[in-house]
Amino acid sequence: MNEVKERPVARSARTEHTQHSIRKIGVVGAGQMGSGIAHVCALSGFHVLLNDIAPERVSEGLATISGNLARQVSRQRISEEERQAAIKRITAATTLEDLAECDIVIEAATEKEETKRRIFSALCPSLKPGAIIGTNTSSISITRLAAATDRPERFIGIHFMNPVPLMELVEVIRGIATDDATFEATKQFIAKLGKQIAVSEDFPAFIVNRILLPMINEAIYTLYEGVGNVEAIDTAMRLGAHHPMGPLELADFIGLDTCLSVMQVLHEGLADSKYRPCPLLVKYVEAGWLGRKTQRGFYDYRGDKPVPTR
């Protein structure tokens, strides 16, 4: 009987220690994903340092967070006091050295492997030995990215869904070297954010994008081959499959450059022709028509309402 009583106490002590080991969060990349991650961390009581290679992006990210928090207040999802407290917990970090005291740093830069590797090489010398590095990559090998750091055992994939404040899921991906302590601390950290976890193996694009992006790519092929126009394809999937938005509208929301990057990772990593990026997707990216963020993609967003471009 004594042994049975002792086990919960020991487990509770370990849990408490792990939970309290993550207090201060660093976020590298102040774009749509990085600002969303900073938003949910601050709202959950963590102190956040937000960094970007371009200082103006940090200012824009802070403005986005403030606006989104205000929207949550207007919809009565949080109180005005919670909004003010969250804003006070976020600080701009002008250099990577400012992240020296962070317990975990989450990289949320563009979905390009060489960019992420450069960030990790510059970041590692500034971090304390026990700090965890998380990457918000949506497709790139965690094991390979971890090898660019000085702490592969403290490196893990933490893939938030977009938009971060609204989406309930976070994919957690261990690299081959990720240790159990890092995995457990990460799971407890995400639980404190109020998110649900799906654990994925370290294969190209993980779970969500392994399924979602080929569907989007197939929708673009359907457009490319003239099976239907933009409006017909999106209407068909909204009303015929009860998707909340059509696949081409969703591609614009994600960013066509990101869609292309994920498809390239799938195509190269799995060597299967079914993952070949549609030439029309490549053409749109080459034109700089990346979706909502550039005001043009499969829809033109420059007027009062989106208008299909094909």
- Which of the four pLDDT bands, split at 50, 70 and 90, describes residue 21? confident
- Which of the four pLDDT bands, split at 50, 70 and 90, describes residue 16? very low
To the query of whether residue 136 is one of the catalytic residues in this protein, the response is no
To the query of whether residue 68 is one of the catalytic residues in this protein, the response is no
The residue annotated as part of the active site, out of 51, 171, 200, 217, is: 171
CB-count exposure of residue 299 (10 Å: 0-12, 13-18, 19+): buried
Answer yes or no: is pLDDT of 20 > 80: no
Among 281, 277, 299, 297, residue whose Cα is nearest residue 289:
297
Q: Write the pLDDT tens digit of every residue in 225-281.
A: 999 999 999 999 999 999 999 999 999 999 999 999 999 999 999 999 999 999 999
To the query of whether residue 209 is one of the catalytic residues in this protein, the response is yes
- Which of the four pLDDT bands, split at 50, 70 and 90, describes residue 15? very low
The residue annotated as part of the active site, out of 44, 107, 159, 249, is: 159
- What domains are there in the chain, each with its CATH number? 2-200 (3.40.50.720), 209-308 (1.10.1040.10)
Q: What is the overall mean pLDDT for the chain?
A: 93
The residue annotated as part of the active site, out of 35, 44, 136, 209, is: 209
pTM score, whole prediction: 0.87
pLDDT at residue 35, as a whole number? 97
Q: Over range 153-178, report the average pLDDT.
A: 97
Please give the backbone phi and psi of residue 307, each rounded to the nearest 5 degrees, phi first: -120, 130
- Which of the four pLDDT bands, split at 50, 70 and 90, describes residue 179? very high
The residue annotated as part of the active site, out of 136, 138, 139, 261, is: 138
Q: Write the pLDDT tens digit of every residue in 61-78.
A: 999 999 999 999 999 999
pLDDT at residue 61, as a whole number? 96
To the query of whether residue 141 is one of the catalytic residues in this protein, the response is no
